[in-house]
């Protein structure tokens, strides 16, 4: 998507938001499956537990996700990855959407191991689809996704880059008290390939996409409004 009209930007922002909410629902499925969460969520759980103990109030995993996203943006900037509208939307709504799905019982509650396993795998696939959807408008990637995109542009395969990063945060999260299970292993060793599959499904090459920075988007929107004013005159 490269439509830089006002209508085009509204459509692109909608796709980004839909993809991120869709992805958050996938994360929720992996959490309620109860077989172990993704490495980043192991990290989120560990930090949430520590903060809850320190503050004396419940701190939800989605809230830690939002805080972590804001901090990861710093690493993205260091790797010279563009920060775009999607990066900001991810930081603002992904964790909130996850909290909403978990808090309002909008996720299934499987009981048998077989059903839990199915929902766990489905969750990772839904999450992967959400990533592929929200990255297509080329308005930037989420803070965490920008990390493996940056490595991919340095000729490191997406699967290897993502799995390596998540293995590191998983260990940190486990040390902090996060829960590691079979679902964590599935994520570390399989989700990178699920994402690659979804990219191919949408014929999306992450190494060639030219994401708009916030500055690019602001400049294009300014031109859109100027053109609209000229036509009105």
Residue pLDDT, tens place only, 37-48: 888 899 998 999
Asked if residue 233 belongs to a domain, the reply is no
Residue 149 is predicted with a pLDDT of: 73
Q: Is residue 206 scored above 70 in pLDDT? A: yes
Give how far Cα 74 sits from Cα of 115, 172, 213, 228, Å. Answer: 39, 19, 15, 36
> What number is the average pLDDT over the span 199-228?
84
Q: Say which DSSP state 212 is in.
A: P
Residue 3 is predicted with a pLDDT of: 67
Give the confidence band of 103 by pLDDT, cuts at 50, 70, 90: confident
- Domain hosting 31: range is 6-226
Asked if residue 220 belongs to a domain, the reply is yes
Asked if residue 231 belongs to a domain, the reply is no
Q: Is residue 2 scored above 70 in pLDDT? A: no
> What number is the average pLDDT over the span 195-210?
84
Candidates 146, 128, 119; CA nearest to 19 is 128
- The span from the CA of 124 to the CA of 189, in Å, is 12
CA geometry: angle 198, 105, 27, nearest 5 deg: 25
Give how far Cα 121 sits from Cα of 163, 184, 187, 206, Å. Answer: 16, 11, 9, 23
Asked if residue 208 belongs to a domain, the reply is yes
Cα first-last separation, the chain: 30
Asked if residue 104 belongs to a domain, the reply is yes
Q: Domain count of the chain?
A: 1
- The span from the CA of 21 to the CA of 142, in Å, is 12
> What number is the average pLDDT over the span 198-212?
83
Q: What is the pLDDT of residues 104-116, one digit of tens each?
A: 878 888 889 999 9
- The span from the CA of 162 to the CA of 189, in Å, is 10
CB–CB of 15/133 below 8 Å?
yes
Give the confidence band of 94 by pLDDT, cuts at 50, 70, 90: very high
Q: Say which DSSP state 232 is in.
A: H
Q: What is the pLDDT of residues 116-141, one digit of tens each?
A: 999 999 999 999 999 999 988 989 88
Q: What is the pLDDT of residues 174-196, one digit of tens each?
A: 898 887 899 998 887 888 889 88
3-state secondary structure of 200: helix
Q: Is residue 1 scored above 60 in pLDDT? A: no
Q: Is residue 229 scored above 90 in pLDDT? A: no
Residue 225 is predicted with a pLDDT of: 82
Phi, psi of 197 (to 5 degrees): -60, -45
> What number is the average pLDDT over the span 184-211?
84
Asked if residue 1 belongs to a domain, the reply is no
Question: How many other C-beta atoms lie within 10 A of the C-beta of residue 111?
Answer: 9
Asked if residue 86 belongs to a domain, the reply is yes
Asked if residue 194 belongs to a domain, the reply is yes
- The span from the CA of 89 to the CA of 128, in Å, is 17
Q: Say which DSSP state 219 is in.
A: H
Share of the chain above pLDDT 70, in %: 97
Residue 11 is predicted with a pLDDT of: 93
Q: Which DSSP string corresponds to 58-79?
A: ---HHHHHHHHHHHHHHHHHHT
**Mean pLDDT score across all residues of the chain:** 86
């Amino acid at each position: 998507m490269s439509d830089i009209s006002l209508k085009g930007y509204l459509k692109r922002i909608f796709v980004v938001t839909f993809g991120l909410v869709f992805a958050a629902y996938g994360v929720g499925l992996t959490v309620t499956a109860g077989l172990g969460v993704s490495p980043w969520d192991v990290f989120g759980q560990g930090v949430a537990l520590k903060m809850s103990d320190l503050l004396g109030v419940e701190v939800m995993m989605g809230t830690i996700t939002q805080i972590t996203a804001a901090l990861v943006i710093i690493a993205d900037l260091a790797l010279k990855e563009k920060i775009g509208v999607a990066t900001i939307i991810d930081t603002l709504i992904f964790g909130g959407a996850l909290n909403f799905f978990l808090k309002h019982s909008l996720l299934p509650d499987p009981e048998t191991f077989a059903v839990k396993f199915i929902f766990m795998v489905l969750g990772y696939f839904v999450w992967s689809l959400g990533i592929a959807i929200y990255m297509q408008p080329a308005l930037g990637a989420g803070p965490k996704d920008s990390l493996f995109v940056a490595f991919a542009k340095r000729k490191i395969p997406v699967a290897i880059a993502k799995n390596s990063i998540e293995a590191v945060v998983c260990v940190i999260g486990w040390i902090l008290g996060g829960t590691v299970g079979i679902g964590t292993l599935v994520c570390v060793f399989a989700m990178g390939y699920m994402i690659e599959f979804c990219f191919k499904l949408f014929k999306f090459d992450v190494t060639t996409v030219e994401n708009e920075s916030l500055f690019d988007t602001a400049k294009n929107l300014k031109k859109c409004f100027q053109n609209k004013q000229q036509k009105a005159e």
